[in-house]
């Protein structure tokens, strides 16, 4: 289409030729600069305060969650005493060892039981403990009290904890207050700040304790009086405050400095302070944490790293840059007034032409581009849609600072190069899909269609094309695939995908001569848990079982959910001999058995759910997939018949 004839330039308004206009614009632009500068200052301060408040509440939430986790441990210990007529020292040791608290809940000094001893029973109690092998045992400190309490169990029973053996916590007012509160309420109680008896001469830290009461069994306990009469003792844990808080907050917290106080924020009540907690900070707030009937105050301050990250030169740049631009604008307007008439017509024509072209290109969906015909395909033109796809503005592509191909996913680069090179050589059109890596690290899918233009001699001049973002379509395709092959609750492969992988493994086993194994896992009494605690707890249990299965087996093994509470584990490459493969599979199955039998912290009290596991081995394609699953299922039912919570290997007598 031919361009329209340029029209004669119009007379500019006389107002624009006056110096007063330049001064007016200077005053207005300077005022705007000052407003923007003030807004930038206040906006960044508000954003920093919001971020500080969010990080503060997050740190307090982390602390509360950890304390609640310790509460679950103590409630489980109390339940252990309530469920047994007589908890032996070895049983307590084995129970605490299975919890693996050093790995799962680091920072706990120990977990023990303190027995309430009436004054009339003190001598008999000490003699019984000495007869049990503790020749030097005595309730300490000395003194006449009634009742006494004595730390009889404490795990780990080594190191600092030996100092607490036989210690009467009732002899100290702060501990006694917390114990009495736990006794009278029947709930966990948190003590005030104390110095633990485990402390030595060096690195003495503030401490505190948690108590959960244990009452006599087969007695009605429903009021403070009956609780006082029938108290047996307390499951408790001592904590060295600094050691505990370091495991909770660690070195990953770069934004917040924190101090923890008991009851009120005074130096004598300080439990913990991070390294630079007392520095003068731009942001500070006190948050209350009520736990176990005790009030803690968390004093949180912004760290130097936080303030550096939220501080910005942007307001100063706005002020300095804005004033410089205002001055420059004033000079330009003042100096160019005499040239305005001659420039107006040319500027209008250029603007009109540019706007027509820009509107045409920018209204095309996706990204319209023109590049050189050979790698690395430097951009000759690219529309603004490229920024939404790659995070880079068009200007960087046009300057040669980057190229479209620089954002290609490495795994797709070869296919894209081949498709474009072939289309250019054959004077054809290419259509290729590939992944694009954005500057923010996101990966998106793009569909590109293009064609080269050539001169009279057939030499390619450039490539024109369009790029469309097809990420949503790809996500939909992947979602459909996941629905077909994966269990929506646990994320594990479903029966369909398991059978497909089992077919493949049978073929691989036939070629390699190596045995594999199939383990059929069924949860004992899962229906009872589901009916009594609700389907939501049942679903959470299944998710946790799936997690434990995945973390117990080897990296290349397959864990699948068949449905309900039935899971299947496929093991491969177990050895060339059946006995060897069976032994390896049994070892893995035993680990699964032990791991799944550990309590599940799904409610206020831990849920116990054991598995029954059936095991069968295979090599090659002598047996069908259905027969292998049937054998593993049969072995599982044999395990249930043998008493549950055990593993049964399919044998000749199991048909």
Question: In this structure, what CATH number is given to the domain that contains residue 429?
Answer: 3.30.450.20
- CATH number for the domain harbouring residue 509: 3.30.70.270
The tokens for 83 are 């469920």
- Is the same domain home to 526 and 641? yes
Give pLDDT, residue 457: 86
With a CB cutoff of 8 Å and minimum separation 6, the contacts of 373 are 424, 452, 460, 461, 462, 463
13 against 478, higher pLDDT: 478
Asked if residues 523 and 535 have their Cβ atoms less than 8 Å apart, the reply is: no
389 versus 137: the higher-pLDDT residue is: 137
* Number of domains into which the chain is organized: 2
- Residue 93 falls within a domain, yes or no? no
Same domain, 447 and 516: no
HSE (side-chain half, CA atoms, 13 Å) at 261: 15
Residue 51 has pLDDT above 70, yes or no: yes
Strand partners, 274: none
Domain residues for the domain of 441 are 364-475
Do residues 496 and 634 share a domain?
yes
Do both 457 and 520 map to the same domain? no
Residue with tokens 């605690």: 533
Query: Between 27 and 403, where is the model more confident?
Result: 27
Check whether 15 has a pLDDT greater than 90.
Answer: no
Kindly state the average pLDDT of the residues 53-66: 91
- Do 259 and 274 touch, CB atoms closer than 8 A? yes
pLDDT in tens, 303-351: 888 888 888 778 888 888 888 887 888 788 777 766 666 667 666 666 6
Going across the sheet that includes 367-371, the strands are: 379-382, 367-371, 460-469, 443-454, 429-437
Is residue 319 situated within a structural domain? no
- Predicted local distance difference test score (pLDDT) of residue 566: 93
Tell me which of 481 and 150 has the higher pLDDT: 150
CA 498 to chain centre: 28
User: For all residues of the chain together, what is the average pLDDT?
Assistant: 86
Is residue 636 located within the same domain as residue 543?
yes
Q: Is pLDDT larger for residue 603 or for residue 324?
A: 324
Mean pLDDT calculated for residue range 210-238:
91
Assess contact for 241 and 109: CB atoms under 8 A.
no
Q: Are strands 611-618 and 647-649 parallel, antiparallel or unpaired?
A: parallel
For residue 650, being part of any structural domain is answered with yes
pLDDT cut 70: percent of the chain above it: 91
- Whether 476 shows a pLDDT value over 80: the answer reads no
Please give the radius of gyration of the chain, using alpha carbons only, rounded to the nearest integer: 37
Query: What average pLDDT does the segment 188-194 reach?
Result: 95
130-153 pLDDT tens trace: 998 999 999 999 999 999 999 999
Q: For residue 122, is it within any domain? A: no
Domain boundary among 448, 475, 502: 475
Distance from first CA to last CA of the chain, Å, rounded? 85
432 within 8 A of 420, measured Cβ to Cβ: yes
Tell me: pLDDT of 9 over 50.
Answer: no
My answer on whether 410 and 557 are in the same domain is no
Does the structure show a pLDDT above 70 at 129?
yes
Of 449, 475, 501, the position where a domain reaches its end is 475
The CA-CA-CA angle for residues 445, 446, 447, to 5°, reads 135
Does one domain contain both 462 and 606? no
Shared domain for 526 and 571, answered yes or no, is: yes
Same domain, 538 and 391: no
What's the CA gap between 515 and 616, in Å, rounded?
A: 11
Percentage, residues of the chain above pLDDT 90: 44
Task: Tell me, yes or no, whether 533 and 606 share the same domain.
Answer: yes
Do residue 531 and residue 618 come from a single domain? yes
What's the confidence (pLDDT) of residue 13? 55
* Mean pLDDT for the stretch of residues 195-205: 83
**Domain-terminating residue out of 435, 450, 475:** 475
pTM of the predicted structure, to 2 decimals: 0.48
- Does 550 reside within a domain? yes
The token pair at 547 is: 């997690």
Assigned domain for 630 exists: yes
Residue 176: inside a domain: no
Answer yes or no: do 610 and 582 share one domain. Answer: yes
Is 236 within the bounds of a domain? no
């Amino acid at each position: 289409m031919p361009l329209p004839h340029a029209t004669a330039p119009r007379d500019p308004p006389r107002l624009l030729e006056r110096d007063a206009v330049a001064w007016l614009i200077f005053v207005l632009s300077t005022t705007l600069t000052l407003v923007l500068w003030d807004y930038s200052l206040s906006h960044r301060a508000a954003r920093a305060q919001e971020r500080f408040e969010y990080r503060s509440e997050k740190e307090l939430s982390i602390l509360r969650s950890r304390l609640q986790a310790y509460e679950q441990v103590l409630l489980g210990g109390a339940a252990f005493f309530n469920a047994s007529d007589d908890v032996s020292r070895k049983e307590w040791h084995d129970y605490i060892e299975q919890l693996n608290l050093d790995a799962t809940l680091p920072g706990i000094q120990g977990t023990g039981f303190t027995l309430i001893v009436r004054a009339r029973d003190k001598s008999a109690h000490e003699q019984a403990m000495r007869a049990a092998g503790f020749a030097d045992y005595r309730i300490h400190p000395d003194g006449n009290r009634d009742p006494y309490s004595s730390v009889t169990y404490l795990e780990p029973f080594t190191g600092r904890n030996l100092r607490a053996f036989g210690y009467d916590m009732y002899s100290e007012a702060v501990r006694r207050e917390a114990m009495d509160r736990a006794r009278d309420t029947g709930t966990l109680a948190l003590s005030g700040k104390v110095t633990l008896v485990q402390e030595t001469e060096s690195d003495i830290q503030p401490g505190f304790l948690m108590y959960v009461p244990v009452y006599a069994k087969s007695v009605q306990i429903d009021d403070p009086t009956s609780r006082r009469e029938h108290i047996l003792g307390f499951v408790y844990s001592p904590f060295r405050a600094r050691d505990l808080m370091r495991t909770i907050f660690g070195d990953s917290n770069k934004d917040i400095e924190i101090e923890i106080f008991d009851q009120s924020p005074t130096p004598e009540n300080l439990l913990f302070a991070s390294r630079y907690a007392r520095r003068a900070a731009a942001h500070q707030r006190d948050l209350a944490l009520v736990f176990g009937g005790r009030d803690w105050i968390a004093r949180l301050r912004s760290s130097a790293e936080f303030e550096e990250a939220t501080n910005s030169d942007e307001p100063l740049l706005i002020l300095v840059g804005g004033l410089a631009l205002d001055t420059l604008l004033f000079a330009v307007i003042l100096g160019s007034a005499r040239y305005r008439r001659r420039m107006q017509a040319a500027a209008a024509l250029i603007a009109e032409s540019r706007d027509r072209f820009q509107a045409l290109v920018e209204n095309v969906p996706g990204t319209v581009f023109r590049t050189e015909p050979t790698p690395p395909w430097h951009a000759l033109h690219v529309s603004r849609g490229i920024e939404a796809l790659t995070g880079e503005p068009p200007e960087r592509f046009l300057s040669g600072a980057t190229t479209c191909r620089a954002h290609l996913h490495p795994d797709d680069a070869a296919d894209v190069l081949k498709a474009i090179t072939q289309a250019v050589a054959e004077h054809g059109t290419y259509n290729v899909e590939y992944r694009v890596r954005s500057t923010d690290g996101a990966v998106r899918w793009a569909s590109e269609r293009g064609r080269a233009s050539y001169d009279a001699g057939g030499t390619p001049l450039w490539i024109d094309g369009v790029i469309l973002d097809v990420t949503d379509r790809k996500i939909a395709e992947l979602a459909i695939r996941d629905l077909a092959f994966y269990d929506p609750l646990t994320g594990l492969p479903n029966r369909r995908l398991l059978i497909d992988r089992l077919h493949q493994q049978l073929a691989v086993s036939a070629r390699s001569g190596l045995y594999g194994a199939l383990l059929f896992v069924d949860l004992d009494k899962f229906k009872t848990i589901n009916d009594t605690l609700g389907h939501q707890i049942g679903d959470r249990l299944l998710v946790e079982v799936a997690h434990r299965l995945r973390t117990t087996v080897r990296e290349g093994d397959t864990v699948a959910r068949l449905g309900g509470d039935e899971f299947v584990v496929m093991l491969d490459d177990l050895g060339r001999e059946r006995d060897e493969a069976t032994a390896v599979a049994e070892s893995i199955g035993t680990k699964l058995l032990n791991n799944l039998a550990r309590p599940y912290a799904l409610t206020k009290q831990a849920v116990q759910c054991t598995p029954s596991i059936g095991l069968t081995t295979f090599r090659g394609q002598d047996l069908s997939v259905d027969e292998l699953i049937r054998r593993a299922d049969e072995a599982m039912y044999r395990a249930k018949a043998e008493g549950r919570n055990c593993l049964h290997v399919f044998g000749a007598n199991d048909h």
